[in-house]
Amino acid sequence: MKTQYESVKRASPGYIIFFIHGNFAECYFEDAKRVSSILGLTLTTMTKNKEKTPMAGFPKYQLQRYTAIMLDNGLKVMVLETTKGEK
């Protein structure tokens, strides 16, 4: 996931990147920190191999609502669907 995120961020500077994982939309790193305050989301941490990654997310059915709020706040948003087994 980190490699994919970093690749997309390099190719799309200035965008907030969300990944759809099942029924949730999630963002990571600086994106998570930024949107958690704008959207009033809880900033959590995902730990893998002792590396902590900031994370924020919401149910997929709220995607349209939260995207509108982000756009109203001047953010550019990209939403990526992941395939089964992709992390």
Domain count, the chain: 1
pTM for the whole structure:
0.85
pLDDT digits (tens, 9 = 90+) for 30-77: 999 999 999 999 999 989 888 899 999 999 999 999 999 999 999 999
Q: Residue 50 domain-assigned?
A: yes
Domain enclosing residue 35, as ranges: 19-80
6-12 contact pairs (CB < 8 A, 24+):
8/78, 8/80, 12/78
Q: What is the pLDDT of residue 3?
A: 81
Q: What is the CATH number of the domain that holds 29?
A: 3.40.1170.10
Question: Over the range 38-77, which residues count as b (16 or more CB within 10 Å of their CB) and which as e?
Answer: bbebeeeeeeeeeeeebbbbbebeebeebbeebeeeebeb
